[in-house]
Every structure is written in C-alpha cells, then in structure tokens.
Structure 1
Amino acid sequence: MEQASETPSPKEERAIRLASYSEPELGEMIDEFSIRASGGAAAERSRVLKCGDLFAVADSFGDMRPELVREQGLYYKGTRFLAQWQLELEGGRPLLLSSTVKEDNVLLAVDLTNPDMEQQDGRWVRHGTLHMFRSRFLWKHACFERLRVTNYGLAPVSFGIGYAFGADFVDLFEVRGLKRKRRGSLSPPKLEEGSVSVTYHGLDGVTRVVRLVFWPAPQRLEANRVVWQGRLVPKAEWTIFVTIFCMVDEARPLILFYEAALSEATETVAARKQAGCQIVTSNEQFNDWLNRSLSDIHLMITETPEGPYPHAGIPWFSTPFGRDGIITALELLWVNPNIARGVLAFLAATQAQAEDPARDAQPGKILHEMRDGEMAALGEIPFGRYYGSVDATPLFVLLAGRFLERTGDLAFLRSLWPNIQAALEWMDHYGDRDGDGFVEYLRESPKGLVHQGWKDSSDAIFHRDGRLAEGPIALCEVQGYVFAAKQAGGRIARRLGYEEISIRLEQSAERLRQQFEQAFWCGELSMYAMALDGKKRPCCVRSSNAGHALFAGIATPNRARRVAEVLCSEEMFSGWGIRTIGSAEARFNPMSYHNGSVWPHDNALIGKGLATYGFREETLKILTGLFDASLFMDLHRLPELFCGFRRRPGEGPTLYPSACVPQAWAAASVFYLLEACLGMTIHGEERRVVFDAPRLPPFLEKVQIRNLSVGESVIDLFLERRPAGDVGIDFVQRQGTAEVAVVKRGG
C-alpha cells in the first residue's frame, strides 16, 4: 500500500476543485466571452472576403462602417487594422445598384450610380448618369480595390470622388464586446505623396502598420479622407486603384499591381478546388449550394507549415479551432482527404505537452483554439493557445482512423501514432476525472470556457426543469466520440502491428458502450440524456446531442430507432432541420444560440448517424430541409446557425443575428449529407468504393462525381435516381484499378 503524500497529486488537486464547485442557480448566466448581439447579418447583408490571416467584412456597398455594424472592417492576425472605409461621391453616398461576391469567393463586385447632383454652373446631373464599378479582393496581406467610373450621359460631368477612412487597431475581442483598461499608442497618420500610413505600438511590443497607396495621386489627401477631382466627357471612363497593406513588425509587403495580384489569387483558388473531386447534379439550385459551399471551404482554408487548415468562421472565429477543423475535415473526407491530413498534422504539432491550468491544458489534449492579437499575447484572454475542449481529443483519434480507411496512408498514421497514443491516454487519465469510465470537463482556468463541448454557451447544459447543470459534466456526445476513438485507435494499432493495444482499446470501447446505455438512457423520453452532471444525475432533455450517439455508433440499434423517431418529430424537426433542443423543453428558445436553433453541421453529423443505422429516409429529410433553407440564404450560403422557428408556408428561415457567415463546418455539411444519403464508403488501400443502399432525394435525379481519388486510382461516376427509389451507378472514366460495389437491401 502506498503511503499518503503531504503534497496532493494532480488528480487530488482536481478532486479538491470539484468539491468546491457550486451548483448554478436557475436563471441566465452571461459568459464574458459570449458574443454580444448587434444588427449583424439579419439587418445588413455582409460581404466577406478572406485570404490567409487577412479578412474583410463590408456592407453591400463595399463600405466598412462599424458605427452601424460593429464587425465591419479589415482584419489581420486577430486585429482590426482598418475600421472605416467608405466611398463618397460629392461628399455623399452613391446609390446601390447591385452587389455580390463572385462564386469563387475571390472578388467583391459592386455596381453603383450617382444620385441627382448639381454642377457648379447650375446644371443638374440626373441620377443614373455615372456608373461606378467597385471591385475588391484580398491577396497575401493586402487589400486591392479598383474603382471604375463611366459617364453614360450626353454632357460632361464634373465631380469629386474619394474615400473616408480610419484605422483603429482594435483587438477582435474588443469588437466582440470586451472592455480593456489600457491600450497601446496610435501614431498620427504619416502623409506622403499618394499614400498614408498609420502605426500602432501595442502593449505586446508588436508594431502594426496599415498603409494605403493611391493611384493616380489624389488632389486632396488628409489624415482620414482622400479625394480626386474628375471630369468625364460622354462615354469616357476613369479608373482609380487603392492598395491597403497590413504589416506586423515592419514586414515589407510584396507589392503587386491589381491585375497581377488578381490573376495570382484566382489561379490559386482554382487550383485548390481542382485538387478534390467535383460534383455536378441535374438541379442547378443544388449546384449553386454545392459550388458556394466548396468556395466557402477554400475561402476559410489557411495554409500552415503542416498543411491546409480550415479556419472556423468569419468574423468571430477566423482562426484555427480544433473541434471545428476536425468536423470540417470529416465532412469533406471523401471529397478531399488532403484537408484532413493538414488538420491532423497541425493538431499533432500543437498538442499539449504539459499541464497548464491557465490554458486548460494537459498532456495529450488537442487544441481548442489558437489566437493572434494583442489581448491573446498579453494573456488578457486565455485563447493564445487554449485547450478548453473536451471533445477535440477523441475527435482527433476518430478522424485519424477514418483518414486511414479513406486513404490507406499507413506511413502518415505511423508518424502520428505517438500523438494518437497521447490522446488516448488523456481520455483515460485526465478526461475521466473521477474514474467512473466517462470523460467529463470542468474548467481549470478562471478565464476559460464554462462549457467545453460544442454547445459552449453558459446556459447550454441543463436539467429538465431548466436548472443549469453543475460540473464536472459528462456530455452524451463526448462518450460517443470516445467510444468511436477507441475503436479507431484499435484499428490503427492493429494495422501498425500493436495487437495487444488493439485488443485493449476494443475491450475498453465495449465497456464504455455498456456503461453508456445504463447511465444515459432516459426511457420516458425515448432519448439519451444530454449529459450527466457532477452528481451523476442525467440531464433528461430532448436534444440533438443524442443524435451524435448515432454518428459515433455507440447506440444500440433498438434505441437508435427510438432516438431517430424523436429527432424527426415536430418537437425536434423545425421543417428546416433538427433543433438543438426540443420545443417542449424548459429552456427552448428558437432565437437562442444553443437552446432551440438549427445548426447545419449538427444536422450533418446526425444525418450521417441516421444513415449508418439504416434510417436513410430521415437523412433525406434533413438534406431536403437544409437545401430548402439554402434557397432563401444570400448567395446560397448556409450560416453557422439560424433560428429554430417552425417552418411557415411561403417564408424562409429566420436568421440568427450574430451568426458567422461563412462558417467552415456549415459549408461542409452538404457534402457529408450527400455521402450519408449515398451510403458511400471509400477504402483507399483496397481501391474500393462501396455504396450501401444509396438513395437520392426527389429533387436530385442525376449526380456526376468527377476526379474521385480511391487510393492511387481516380474515377468519374454517374449516379441516377430510378423510379423505384434506388440509385443506379456507372463508371464514366477510370484511371487505375478502383472498383465500385453497390449493396442493395430489401424492404
């Protein structure tokens, strides 16, 4: 028997913290890191561009006016460099004709015209005489803008045109609503011929500079305004170029002219899209959704030293998130496995190596999020490199297992094996805080997140009567992820020759399945509990969390059927998608972030789980609901979430005010749902594609899949919905020896 130590062990220290954790009262909790709602997307159609660590949020005019919509601006590495950027014609605002972001997400195109204007000689220029075409794109760490003015009148027109601008170098978390006691110093604007620079000296010792370069040189250049005086004869055209450079610690920009930079940006995006497979269907509206979703994914991807990584969402989450990156990669695994490879490599490189309570880190734990910016560098927020996710670690192992099945790339998995082992060890040691076999969370950082699953609002986990759950909390879906991770780890270990480890992991997974069924099943609800609280009391709430148990495969077939029935009932299914919680629950609010809204990625994972258990009609229902929702969305772009109001005839879904648009895992949801409906599994090493009882919704008669990689082979397939409801699948082209198998099921 070991003697007691005078110094408590790390596990004993955690137990002490657990004992001092008090149960929250019934009511609302406001997390200091929650996003304060403002006008947002529902009030103004935002136009978003992104390239690497640079992104811009503007209104339909192409203007940035944060006094009206606070998130507007030009951001670089977690800081808003340029806050105001507003086009002015004769000191006022032009009239908007149209505005869009091209399908490849590279270029913002805005058509404007003049209002009625009086000339100095007393003549009036009628509205619609001048046409202004404003185009903008981002490349490297610069924003390029071109303004072309054309006179379609019958007489010469004189006018002043220019921009009002302002730099504020505000941290993204300040934009989100946090207040700071101190800030760095802002130098006065430095005016030169044809350019102006503003410098910010941060408290973190970093110098940030925004430099605006104008061509041709303007007639008037001030600290916050630039004006050109123009005179155009009939049918004449005049072009102005502006380049806005964002620089950190005097890094010199690569200076390119507008056309050359646009060519590079367009070619790069086109090459990325060609790297994966392409999907074309007989439904043009569905094609619009697919194409915009794929463009959004490539918009969100940032190249890292380890490979491509999809940032989570714009504006609030344009940075690497572990959970978001993994789920996005899972959704896209059949389309482009290289994204999953980049995600796995990046997360392995940033895996926690030691205990650090200030960052909720323990050895083997996978990153939650990683932020640049002054506040992160100074520790004013804990998210410089933060590990407060309970689910990213098992999801990392799950993705590794599915990547191996998809690609057969055993050499890459061998290089990841130490990281996989560390993640598995974290689940058993640090994740299972009290040794009961379940993985729980309780924040250790006083600045960290209260809830550490994907539903991380401070009121997201509660009991049936509405009381907020106390910690530590064992989430339903997390136990499923751990189960699937141990199964995946077992398969990887066997492939690597570690038979004993494989057997041990498989046995551990089976024990977890049995414990899960006993502890989480709420028979009166026909659902798995959302969570167990700190006293092991089940949170018997009808929630979408239970659908993730199907996605992970931990549910028994009989109980999976009962869960499927509840998820697709009117209480849970809004008509557009499955709500996060049922409409009869105490905290249901269709306008809540996590308590009644509809999340596309949540629906995609549930749809995949339903299909895995054979509930293909229910998966088709989800795909149809989200497709219908996309028809009402600007640019056919599904947002991070939308409100969970019941679908009303002749109306579209209700937008959520501060949802990120675009959001990577929302954009990728259509691909996962299509894979689920087709029952498609790709076995890379065997060079084999299996379609298990494939189905297509009535609005999709034909689907072409081109450039689908299957091991070292590449195939093109043609799929057609038949009158009986099944799907015919034919080869169009094949390079290599890949085979296709179709499994048909009776009844």
Structure 2
Amino acid sequence: MGEGWTFAGEATGGGSDSVTLIEGSSFCLSERGGDLVSGTPHGLFHRDTRILSAWRLRVDDEEVDPLTVIAQEPYEALFLGRARPRPGQSEATVLVERHRFVGAGMREDLVLRNLGTEAAACRLTLRAEADFADLFAVKEGRVEPRGQYGVDYGDGVLALNRQWRGESRGVRIVAEGAACSPGRLTFRAVVPPRGEWRASVLVTPVIDGVETPTSFPLERPVEQAGPSVRSSEWRQSGPRIQVGDETLALTLRRSCRDLGALRIFDPERPDTPVVAAGAPWFMALFGRDSILTSLMSLPLDPHLALGTAQVLARHQGSSADPVTEEEPGRIPHELRFGVEASLALGGTVYYGTVDATPLFVLLLGELCRWGVDPDAVRELLPHADRALTWIEEYGDRDGDGFVEYRRATDRGLANQGWKDSWDGVNGADGRIAEPPIALAEVQGYVYAAYLARALLAERLEDGSGAERWRKRARELKQRFNERFWLPGRGWYAEALDGDKRPVDALVSNMGHCLWTGIVDADRAPAVAERLLSPELFSGWGVRTLATSMAAYNPMSYHNGSVWPHDSAIVAAGLMRYGFADHARRIAEAVLDAAAAFGGRLPELLCGFDRAEYAQPVPYPAACSPQAWASAAPLLVLRVLLGAEVCLPHGVVRVNPHMPPRFGPLRLTGVPLGEARATLTVSEDGRPRITGLPDGVRLTDTPCPCTAVATELPGSP
C-alpha cells in the first residue's frame, strides 16, 4: 500500500503513543490517555471525514493522568486514568474510566470510581471540536477552514456542522444529564465513598442532514451491538488452528482478528464485505491491496475475496477520463467517500494503478480453484474479459507485448506499481526510472491472469479459448525472459524504462515473478540465491532494495525497507519452484518479526540487518493494522505447509516443511468449496486431511496448473 496518490511524501502517523480503533468506515486516532488533541492527526473519522478534531476530558479543570489502555477488540478500548489530588489531599482517590466504542461514530461510557472514604464532588467536562476536514487534508497536514460552520446546543445535546460545496457534514453529541454550551459538555457528579458515578456520551455523524444510526445504542447491551456480533461471527465462522508453538498461535489469531476489523461493507450491498487496505488512513477499498489481501486470506474466508471482486467489478472503468485515469476495463486503485475526494482524486474513484487489473483476473482464477460460488464467479467473467482487453489495448500502449504505465496528468501517482512512492523505481546507480515503465512483477501478474482465464475457460468447456490464453501466456513468458534477464548480473531487471532500457536494480520484485511462474526454470536457482543473499535478506524478511544499490536506505519507504507481505509472496514463489529451505528461512523470519511486534505485523519495518539489531526496527509511520501485513502470516503458513488447492483438477496438495519448533498442527473447518476440511500435521511432518469434497484427493505433488514447466506453468 502506498501513499495517498496526490501526496509525494510519506504517511503522517499519529505517533508511537497513539491508539487506533477501527470498525467499518469509522476509526478513531487518539493519545494513550484517550484525548483527541487539536492540531494533530488525531480525530474521529467517518467515511473519510473527521467529525471530531478535539475531544478533551478534564476533571475539575485538570488533566487526567493516564495509567493504561486496555484494548480487547479492534473497535473498543478502556482508558484508565487518575484524577489529580484535590487541594489538601496528598494522594489521588478518583479513578477515571473511559470505555470507548467506535462504529458509525463513537460511544464513550464514563465512570468515576471513588476509592476514598469521603464523598467526592467532581465537575467533569468534555471539550469537543469538529473541523470536518477531509482525511486527505489531515493525513497530509494541510487542514484549513472550508465553508460555513454552525453550532446548536440544548439540554444534553451539542450539534456541530459545516456547509461546503453544496454538501453538509455534521456531528450530534448526546449526553443525558450534561449541561451543553458551544464546544463543551459539563457533568456535575457526587461520587459516594467507595462508590461509582456513570454517564454515557453518543457521537453520531450527520451526512446531508441525515443522522447515521449509532452502532452502539445505549438501550442494547454492547455484546449485542452490530460490531460485536460481526466480530463474534467472524471468529466463529473461520477455521480453527491448534499448533504447538503459542507464539505462532498468537500471531495467527491476531491476524485473523485484524482482518475481521479491516472489513468494510459496500453501502449498495450491506451484506457484501470487502477488505480495506489499512488503518488509520486507508480504511477504503484499494484495488491492489484488497486483491492481494484476499488472495493471501483465501483459506480464512473465500467470500471476502468474492465480495472484493464483486465490488471492484462494479466500479470497473467504462470510459476514458485523464483526471481520474479511468479507462474502459481498468480496475480501480482507490475508492473514497469524503467531500474533498473530488479535489484529490478527480472523483470518488481513482484508477491510477497498473497491477490491479491483471490481479483482478488472477483473483477470479483463484476463486475458481477454491470452488467459491461458481455461479457468482461465472457472472464476473465479462469483467475479466474487459480487464484483459484493457491489458492489451491500454496497458500495452506501444504494442511491445509488455504492460507499462505513465500517469495521465501531473495529479496522478508517478509510480503505479506496489512501490508507488515517487522514488520507488530506480536503477543500480540510483537514477529514477523515466516513464513509461514496464515493471517485472506486473508482467508476471499478466502472465498469471492469462493462465487464470485459461482455467476459467476450461471450467466452461471452452477448450479452444483455454488454449488461446495459454498461448498468450507462453509468448509473454518467452518475451519476458528474453528482455528482463540480466545475464551479466544474474538477476531480473526491476523494469524496462521509457527507452526500453533495463532498470538494473537488485530488488525483491523478482520474487513476485517466481510466485506467478513467469521465471524460466533454469534461471530460478540464481534468483533464489540472490533473494537469500546478505544484500537482500535482512533476517526479518527480504529488503525491497539490496544494500549494494546506490539508493539503499533501510529507513526509506520502498528503497531498503522490509514489507512483510512482499516477503511472504517471495517465500511462496520460492516454494513454488522447489526451494523449500529458502522459503522456510524467509517464512520463519517473517514470523519472528511478528512475534517481536506482539503478533501484529506492521505495514513495513526498517531494513536493518538482524545481526546489527536484535529486534526489528519499526518504521515510524507504518499503518497498523494493515491488510496485507495482517494476511502475510496466513500465506506464510500455507508456504510452510506446502499447501495449494485446485478443486477443478480434483487435488489438494500438502507437502509440509514446518520447523520442528512449531510442533504438531491441526486445522479444522478449512473452506474447500461447500466442504469444510480438517488438516493435521504430525510432529514428524506427515499430513492427513479429512472432509475433502467428493472427487478431490490429497497429494504431495503440484497440480499441473501450478507446476513449474517450460511450456505450461500455471497461475499461483
């Protein structure tokens, strides 16, 4: 996941002491005491608009000293603080609890606990501000007043609003028993000795005069609220894992929980979940990020991948617009809701990505292989064909047989692959590549898309169509290996630049080429050795750029950092080509990094070597949780299990290479079409699987459509 596309820098984080709560299209970024501090990225956001820019709690006009924060769910946190001692007191006696729930706004339950022997008279105030700034403006640090602001207040109610560009955004704050004035809610409480005082505050968004129903109404127990029910159903519906190593178990549980929290629901189809890219700034559908996350999390919930494909298909390009970079058949890069999206994106949908379109077709092939709702996948075939038409008519603009990109205007992303920062593509000497740029991994994605379409044609008993797409794949593979291989270097070029010269940096991207199968088998050993060389392998994962390259910087966004999802894909590619030991080293490194971060992998980490620092060095502005980082441990587990699924060909492959320290493993409820299978791996590494669909068998050898071969390798 890259930057907001109009911004050429790096993400603005909320600071290492920030707390992020998310649920659907709402999130809250606060300090660890619970306050939202004005003038910072803090805020309560709903549908890409900041509806609270300040939220400060005071007891008797004094700040509350924070003690700790307890986060049980991604949308819930308990902030514990201590009211400062009263005049004449030597010690504080009032404990302050702020129990916050985020979802379609926010609910905050306030509790004062008097631990003293005398009644405590307290005045509790909440200061509220709302700038209604667009998420883009907050993230990029360019918030300025826009439009006309209004305030209304009455008994227990404070309403703030803004009118701008013909639209209105507002927030309604309801607190029974509070005296309200502009920007302030005041409670007066007398807390009995050893007793408690309670109050609740509801903060709800108002869009064009319509108040959004709160997710956590006061009249309903929290455990019965929508987010609580969805979270519980998510955990109960997915596969269960038992593994000997508790650290691995924690990482997998955290990954599954975070992926559940990153689900957002299509407003036009409320029952269709899709996966957002990451918190806090990317709680939106991103083509590339959401597809790759869906691919990695197929064993967890295939219907999340189907929902993602369906929503992306509905927003597939239908006309040409240079401002949004929409083109017929192109899959979007980013969907946004905020009022300012039309200024930043040219509209609410931006299409400036080169890889989401082939990845979309690849995703449909994987849905077919996993037996996900064949009728729904069949309905998406016209969208797949439109995507393939885009690849050949718009993606390959100069007719050289490769897909390349150049932004249509100066408002778009300069780089439109996954390393989409302004300096993300450069040569060994550090020079920035000039467009149009044909990325190596994108050719691999196109190759996999052709083979995915061939598989889909097979399922429709269209033999001639299947052969036609396989032929295109073979031709692309031949061209790729002729033009991208650097015989004097022993690795593949990162890209071809606008003059068709190789961009010769040593990067992790060629691991994606292994993953898709476009690499010639006789060159794979050299690629495998390079990926595990000290230049690229840090001990925590694979660096995006080798230490020997001129632009290398371990603290950069894309030029030497380690991205867990990237490393997981590299490991999958190595396993595909039979380099099990190489794949296992990377897989273990990623899981060790996850353990060091308490089970939650960040978006990226610095590329310092493990021999230099005993712990992975965090990247300061990394999103966490972030979708493909959360899904990376699931792909890593598949790599270690040597697990692949191809129900159309009647096989499930399991060939474990589990490290002994992880012990025996048992997975129950793995979705395979309409069936739910159970996989066990004994301590000596022998697999056993029960509950397979009829006509499907267990094997330890690759399916023909995933085997690496000179003539006909398949899609991942």
Q: TM-score, normalised by structure 2?
A: 0.93
- The equivalent position to 1:694 in structure 2, one of 656, 661, 668, is 656
Q: Deviations over 1:714-743 (max 9, x none)?
A: 222322332xxxx12235x64865865242
Matched, 1:281 2:251: no
Equivalent pair of 2:6/2:412 in contact (CA under 8 Å): no
Q: Deviations over 1:310-336 (max 9, x none)?
A: 111122211110101100100011221
Q: Which moved more, 1:284-293 or 1:549-558?
A: 284-293
Deviation at 1:603, TM superposition (A): 1.1
What residue is the counterpart of 1:23 in the other structure? none
Q: Secondary structure at the match of 1:241?
A: strand
Unaligned runs of 5+ residues in structure 1 are: 1-28
Matched, 1:348 2:313: yes
- The equivalent position to 1:535 in structure 2, one of 493, 499, 502, is 499
- In structure 2, the CA distance between the partners of 1:130 and 1:655, relative to structure 1 (3 Å rule), is same
Q: Secondary structure at the match of 2:138?
A: helix
Deviation at 1:499, TM superposition (A): 2.5
Mapped partners of 2:21, 2:577: distance in 1: 40
- The equivalent position to 2:567 in structure 1, one of 603, 607, 623, is 603
Amino acid at match of 2:421: S
Mapped partners of 1:132, 1:180: distance in 2: 32
Equivalent pair of 1:30/1:458 in contact (CA under 8 Å): no
Matched, 1:109 2:71: no
Mapped partners of 1:136, 1:277: distance in 2: 30
Q: Secondary structure at the match of 1:668?
A: helix
Amino acid at match of 1:728: R
Equivalent pair of 1:277/1:335 in contact (CA under 8 Å): yes
Mapped partners of 2:421, 2:300: distance in 1: 32
Equivalent pair of 2:204/2:211 in contact (CA under 8 Å): no
Mapped partners of 2:495, 2:65: distance in 1: 53
- How many equivalent pairs are there? 694
Q: Deviations over 1:581-604 (max 9, x none)?
A: 001111111111111111111111
Mapped partners of 1:363, 1:179: distance in 2: 34
- In structure 2, the CA distance between the partners of 1:414 and 1:631, relative to structure 1 (3 Å rule), is closer
Mapped partners of 2:385, 2:273: distance in 1: 24
Amino acid at match of 1:90: D
Equivalent pair of 1:163/1:227 in contact (CA under 8 Å): yes
Q: Secondary structure at the match of 2:182?
A: coil
Matched, 1:79 2:35: no
What residue is the counterpart of 2:603 in the other structure? 640
Mapped partners of 1:83, 1:728: distance in 2: 56
Equivalent pair of 1:198/1:209 in contact (CA under 8 Å): yes
Mapped partners of 1:636, 1:158: distance in 2: 43
Q: Which moved more, 1:494-503 or 1:461-470?
A: 494-503
Mapped partners of 1:655, 1:408: distance in 2: 37
What residue is the counterpart of 1:364 in the other structure? 329
Deviation at 1:271, TM superposition (A): 0.8
Q: TM-score, normalised by structure 1?
A: 0.89
Matched, 1:228 2:187: yes
Deviation at 1:82, TM superposition (A): 0.4
What residue is the counterpart of 1:627 in the other structure? 591
Amino acid at match of 1:191: Y
Q: Percent identity?
A: 35
What residue is the counterpart of 1:60 in the other structure? 32
Deviation at 1:407, TM superposition (A): 1.1
Unaligned runs of 5+ residues in structure 2 are: 703-716
- The equivalent position to 2:253 in structure 1, one of 291, 297, 300, is 291
- In structure 2, the CA distance between the partners of 1:738 and 1:422, relative to structure 1 (3 Å rule), is same
What residue is the counterpart of 1:90 in the other structure? 60
What residue is the counterpart of 1:146 in the other structure? 109
Mapped partners of 1:160, 1:609: distance in 2: 61
Equivalent pair of 2:45/2:105 in contact (CA under 8 Å): no
Amino acid at match of 2:81: L
Mapped partners of 1:686, 1:713: distance in 2: 16
Matched, 1:682 2:652: no
Equivalent pair of 1:35/1:658 in contact (CA under 8 Å): no
What residue is the counterpart of 2:69 in the other structure? 99
Mapped partners of 2:620, 2:570: distance in 1: 25
Deviation at 1:342, TM superposition (A): 0.5
Q: Secondary structure at the match of 1:557?
A: coil
Q: Secondary structure at the match of 2:108?
A: strand
Mapped partners of 2:141, 2:34: distance in 1: 27
Equivalent pair of 1:695/1:721 in contact (CA under 8 Å): no
What residue is the counterpart of 1:550 in the other structure? 514
Q: Deviations over 1:79-135 (max 9, x none)?
A: 111011122222222222221321x423212222233332xxxx31513x2222221
Deviation at 1:177, TM superposition (A): 2.1
- In structure 2, the CA distance between the partners of 1:498 and 1:684, relative to structure 1 (3 Å rule), is closer
Matched, 1:730 2:680: no
What residue is the counterpart of 2:712 in the other structure? none
Deviation at 1:227, TM superposition (A): 2.6
What residue is the counterpart of 2:362 in the other structure? 398
Amino acid at match of 1:398: L
- The equivalent position to 2:172 in structure 1, one of 189, 202, 211, is 211
- In structure 2, the CA distance between the partners of 1:32 and 1:408, relative to structure 1 (3 Å rule), is closer
Deviation at 1:457, TM superposition (A): 0.8
Amino acid at match of 1:214: A
Deviation at 1:158, TM superposition (A): 2.6
Mapped partners of 1:587, 1:36: distance in 2: 17
Deviation at 1:539, TM superposition (A): 0.7
Deviation at 1:613, TM superposition (A): 0.8
What residue is the counterpart of 2:711 in the other structure? none
Matched, 1:260 2:221: yes
Q: Secondary structure at the match of 1:593?
A: coil
Listed as ranges, the matches of 1:445-460 within 5 Å are 445-460=409-424
Equivalent pair of 1:713/1:738 in contact (CA under 8 Å): no
Mapped partners of 1:113, 1:156: distance in 2: 16
Mapped partners of 1:616, 1:672: distance in 2: 15
Q: Deviations over 1:499-523 (max 9, x none)?
A: 2222121111111111111111112
Deviation at 1:262, TM superposition (A): 4.4
What residue is the counterpart of 2:207 in the other structure? 248
Listed as ranges, the matches of 1:445-594 within 5 Å are 445-594=409-558
- In structure 2, the CA distance between the partners of 1:608 and 1:500, relative to structure 1 (3 Å rule), is same
Amino acid at match of 1:669: A
Listed as ranges, the matches of 1:427-442 within 5 Å are 427-442=391-406
Provide the aligned C-alpha RMSD in A.
2.2
Q: Which moved more, 1:261-270 or 1:312-321?
A: 261-270
Mapped partners of 2:359, 2:683: distance in 1: 34
Amino acid at match of 1:359: T
Mapped partners of 1:159, 1:609: distance in 2: 62
What residue is the counterpart of 1:7 in the other structure? none
What residue is the counterpart of 1:421 in the other structure? 385
Equivalent pair of 1:604/1:673 in contact (CA under 8 Å): yes
- In structure 2, the CA distance between the partners of 1:402 and 1:31, relative to structure 1 (3 Å rule), is closer
- In structure 2, the CA distance between the partners of 1:649 and 1:89, relative to structure 1 (3 Å rule), is farther
Q: Deviations over 1:17-60 (max 9, x none)?
A: xxxxxxxxxxxx9985135555x36x423322222221111222
Mapped partners of 1:455, 1:738: distance in 2: 42
Equivalent pair of 1:686/1:711 in contact (CA under 8 Å): no
Mapped partners of 2:11, 2:452: distance in 1: 40
Equivalent pair of 1:47/1:100 in contact (CA under 8 Å): no
Q: Which moved more, 1:423-432 or 1:644-653?
A: 644-653
Mapped partners of 2:4, 2:445: distance in 1: 28
Amino acid at match of 2:50: R
Mapped partners of 2:520, 2:469: distance in 1: 19
